[in-house]
Amino acid sequence: MNDIIIKKGLDEIATHDSDVAKALQLYGYPEPRIRPAGFETFFSIVVGQQLSTHAVAAIIKRARDLLPELTAEKVLDLSDEQLREIGLSKQKTGYIKGMASAITQGDFAPESLETMDDEAAIKAIVALKGFGPWSAEIYLMFSLQRSDVFPSGDLALLVALQKLKGLDEKPTPAEAKEIIKHWSPWRSVGSLFLWHYYHGAPT
């Protein structure tokens, strides 16, 4: 989602949603978030689970220092101990090795996701151990640049939607999907705006 897509999508959402229109005037457009497609981004997604941005950056830097070429094949050449030494937990080491094995054995091909529809791509990703719907949706949004994805399980999005809509309680994921269904086909852009709003809106 580049600047042009973000502006186009949010301007269209704003014509159908007065709350977004008002918030957009106050907080402006969010910055683009674009990640490369492929193994390295999947590696980063696993690393980032339940960790701060600072901690993730430190681990990724150590991984790149250890492996300038961060590929499935190179990761499989490392021992579990080497991966643990850069800061990965035993569980995440298992997830990453499992993903790398699936790629090298031909059971999972990241490049094939580009030709799948959203539902099929998410299904293929969540078949990997350690990858839930949120991880798959984030990959679709920022690596495959899919325009109509809403990660309804993301806590920050739910809190931001509560504030944006002036709700008494945080909506459930199902309620959130219903609230923003009229944002389609720009729900990815709308999600990006909610994260932006979450960090800028008053408590």
Q: Which domains does the chain have, with CATH numbers?
A: 3-32+149-200 (1.10.1670.40), 39-142 (1.10.340.30)
Q: What is the pLDDT of residues 39-81, one digit of tens each?
A: 999 999 999 888 888 888 999 999 999 988 899 999 999 999 9
Q: Quick: pLDDT tens for 133-182.
A: 999 999 999 999 999 999 999 999 999 999 999 999 999 999 999 999 99
Structure tokens at 87: 């800061």
- Please calculate the CA angle 36-198-120 and round it to the nearest 5 degrees: 40
pTM of the model: 0.88
- For 80-88, the CB contacts below 8 A with 24+ separation are 86/59, 86/62, 87/55, 87/58, 87/59, 87/62, 88/47, 88/59
203 pLDDT tier (thresholds 50, 70, 90): very low
Q: What does the alpha-carbon distance between residue 111 and residue 135 come to, in Å, rounded to a whole number?
A: 17
| Burial classification of residue 176, based on how many CB atoms lie within 10 Å of its CB (0-12 exposed, 13-18 middle, 19 or more buried) | buried
